[in-house]
């Protein structure tokens, strides 16, 4: 699979900073594209937030420092875009317009260039400010005062940017050039929140704790995640534990008999989906 490079001979120019865009650019590079990452003289803010991850994402890319607010920088960008197949951005449309990179201008100057634009909110709110935390908040994914354990909008948005990039780049091979796609991070979070919307992972939902065989349990030492969802797993769990009934109370009591590592070993032996929480 590592030898499959469908984007060979394709050039991607990315102005996207922070996380979603660079994640997409890294994947496109892995699929064979040549990626030129343009950063302003002040650099990519993500380098300050998480230097190790920043360095990992840009491996293999051609990094150029260009001041797009200068005439020299605009000329250099024009040279790059004249040969590019895809421009990847993560700035708000109003900022792109100030740089002469709004879609109307881009399409006029580079009719065969494709553009994938990562924005915060879908139109008509595409110029509203936001970040992963606020996008998650709009979908009820925040449990105060706990902060989210992962960056749902950025990671899912990056994946959607990859899909849209592949769509337009594959379109190039079919002679369909000069397309634009918008990826709204708020939409990405809305997609990830569908289990909540349909009640599957709410507190009373089947996968939110209502099912005893799909829940978290404290053990003699540590916690475990039990996911014996399918009937054959559930039946095997009840059989191996020798329980008359499988309820939250019977499982809570049973789990106190061993430590989390011991339960994980036991579950592996009996082919039951249970893991120790780290």
Q: What is the CATH number of the domain that holds 212?
A: 3.30.1540.10
Strand partners, 143: 146
Q: How many domains does the chain have?
A: 2
> Taking residues 149-173, what's their average pLDDT?
95
Residue 74 lies in a domain: yes
Confidence of residue 60 (pLDDT cuts 50, 70, 90): very high
Q: Is the confidence at residue 203, as pLDDT, over 90?
A: no
Among the residue ranges 74-83, 95-104, 167-176, 187-196, the one predicted with the least confidence is 167-176
Residue 3 lies in a domain: no
Q: Is the confidence at residue 2, as pLDDT, over 90?
A: no
Q: What is the DSSP letter of 147?
A: P
pLDDT for 211-243, tens place per residue?
999 999 999 999 999 999 999 999 999 999 999
Residue 182 lies in a domain: yes
User: Residues 6 or more apart from 99 whose CB is under 8 A from it?
Assistant: 68, 69, 74
Residue 68 lies in a domain: yes
Range of the domain at 144: 11-195
pLDDT of 4: 85
Please count the other Cβ atoms lying within 10 Å of the Cβ belonging to residue 149. Answer: 6
Domain stops at, among 195, 229, 260:
195
pLDDT for 96-105, tens place per residue?
999 999 999 9
Q: What is the mean pLDDT of the chain?
A: 95
Residue 180 lies in a domain: yes
Residue 107 lies in a domain: yes
Domain stops at, among 166, 195, 224:
195
Domain stops at, among 160, 195, 230:
195
What value does the CA radius of gyration of the chain take, rounded to a whole number of Å?
Answer: 24
Residue 4 lies in a domain: no
pLDDT of 1: 52
Residues 225 and 178 in one domain: no
Q: Is the confidence at residue 173, as pLDDT, over 90?
A: no
pLDDT of 194: 97
Residues 146 and 262 in one domain: no
Helix 20-30, helix 152-173: angle, nearest 10: 40
Residues 189 and 216 in one domain: no
Residue 101 lies in a domain: yes
Residues 221 and 92 in one domain: no
Position of tokens 């019977």? 250
Residues 110 and 22 in one domain: yes
| Among 49, 1, 32, 46, residue whose Cα is nearest residue 158 | 46
3-state secondary structure of 119: strand
Residues 23 and 94 in one domain: yes
Q: Give the integer Cα–Cα distance in Å for 103 and 117.
A: 9
Residues 179 and 214 in one domain: no
Residues 158 and 254 in one domain: no
Q: Give the integer Cα–Cα distance in Å for 120 and 153.
A: 9
> Taking residues 252-261, what's their average pLDDT?
97
What is the rounded (10 degree) CA torsion for 22, 24, 28, 30? Answer: 70
Residues 163 and 263 in one domain: no
């Amino acid at each position: 699979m590592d030898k499959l490079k469908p984007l060979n001979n394709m050039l991607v120019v990315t102005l996207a900073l922070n996380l979603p865009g660079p994640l997409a650019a890294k994947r496109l590079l892995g699929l064979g594209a040549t990626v030129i990452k343009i950063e302003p003289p002040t650099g990519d803010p993500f380098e300050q937030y998480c230097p190790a991850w920043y360095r990992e994402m840009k491996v293999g890319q051609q990094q150029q420092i260009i001041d797009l607010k200068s005439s020299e920088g605009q000329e250099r960008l024009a040279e790059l875009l004249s040969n590019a197949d895809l421009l990847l951005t993560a700035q708000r449309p109003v900022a792109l317009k100030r740089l002469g990179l709004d879609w109307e201008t881009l399409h006029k100057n580079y009719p065969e260039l494709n553009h994938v634009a990562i924005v915060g909110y879908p139109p008509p709110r595409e110029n509203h400010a936001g970040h992963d935390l606020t996008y998650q908040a709009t979908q009820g994914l925040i449990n105060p005062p706990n902060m989210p354990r992962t960056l749902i909008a950025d990671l899912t948005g990056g994946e959607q940017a990859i899909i849209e990039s592949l769509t337009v780049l594959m379109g190039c091979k079919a002679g369909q050039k000069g397309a634009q796609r918008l990826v709204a991070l708020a939409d990405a979070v809305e997609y990830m929140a569908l289990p909540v919307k349909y009640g599957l992972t709410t507190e009373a939902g089947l996968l939110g704790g209502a099912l005893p065989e799909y829940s978290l349990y404290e053990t003699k030492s540590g916690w475990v995640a039990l996911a014996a969802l399918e009937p054959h797993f559930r039946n095997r769990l009840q059989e191996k534990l020798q329980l008359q009934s499988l309820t939250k109370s019977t499982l809570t009591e049973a789990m106190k008999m061993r430590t989390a590592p011991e339960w994980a070993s036991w579950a592996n032996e009996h082919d039951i989906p249970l893991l120790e929480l780290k």
